[in-house]
Amino acid sequence: MISSNDFRTGMTIELDGDVFSIVDFQHVKPGKGSAFVRTKLKNVKTGGVVEKTFNAGEKVPRAHVDRREMQYLYNDGEAFNFMDTESFEQFTLTKEQLGDGVKYLKDNMNIGVMTFQGKTIGIDLPNFVELKVIDTPPGIKGDTASGGTKPATVETGAVVQVPFFVEVGDVLQIDTRTGAYLKRA
């Protein structure tokens, strides 16, 4: 059990049978009444963010999440195959276990796999990945005044909104947290 006074960003707690990561917290001491802690919690399994208020000093069970470094090997059509970088054991994970991270997985990429009580609850991708554009409509000359964007399909199958000057074959840096184009690599 951990006190709400000891909350820190990135800490994991257990609420209603789910595991949540603390995204943001704020200790509030109003002029009238007792102190409380306002938090933003991210559900580790689903990725959803909720806001919750705890009384100051309230005890909450801490979730001990194990993170293991693994290397993505290949997709066999139904499952995604990974290798533990320490023991060299191979594991398979389903698309549901990986969530939105599937869109950014490249062969031989190292990721963190998070487990809670022996069950895989998600993956921890690097913040940025470099992916090659395999399909995008051509930019129209003179159509840059509006600063618009066009869709581009990258090598993993993800569709990203990019500026008009991006062409097929360009390597892009993409933020895996938001799915946004950052720059050409």
**Whole-angstrom Cα distance, residue 151 to residue 158?**
10
3-state DSSP helix/strand/coil % of the chain, to nearest 5: 5, 50, 40
CATH number at residue 78: 2.40.50.140
SS3 109: coil
119 and 133 in a single domain? The answer is no
- Single out the residue in 124, 139, 171 at which a domain terminates: 124
Per the structure, the complete domain to which residue 30 belongs is given by: 2-60
Q: What is the pLDDT along the chain (185 residues), one digit of tens a residue?
A: 888 888 888 788 888 888 888 888 899 888 888 889 999 988 877 777 889 999 888 898 988 888 888 998 988 888 888 898 888 888 888 887 777 778 888 888 898 888 888 777 777 788 888 889 998 888 766 655 567 788 899 988 889 988 888 888 889 998 887 888 888 87
SS3 139: coil
Q: What sign does the dihedral 163-167-171-176 (CA atoms) show?
A: positive
Phi and psi angles of residue 100, each rounded to the nearest 5 degrees, phi first: -70, -10
**Whole-angstrom Cα distance, residue 99 to residue 122?**
7
**Whole-angstrom Cα distance, residue 147 to residue 107?**
33
Token readout for 75 is 């997709």
Tens of pLDDT along 56-94?
888 989 888 888 889 989 888 888 888 988 888 888 888
What confidence score (pLDDT) does residue 7 get? 86
Contact criterion met (CB below 8 Å) for 175 and 129: no
CATH number at residue 23: 2.30.30.30
What confidence score (pLDDT) does residue 141 get? 65
| Burial of residue 10 (number of CB atoms within 10 Å: 0-12, 13-18, 19+) | exposed
Looking at the 3D structure of the chain, how many domains does it have? 3
Contact criterion met (CB below 8 Å) for 5 and 27: yes
Tens of pLDDT along 142-151?
655 567 788 8
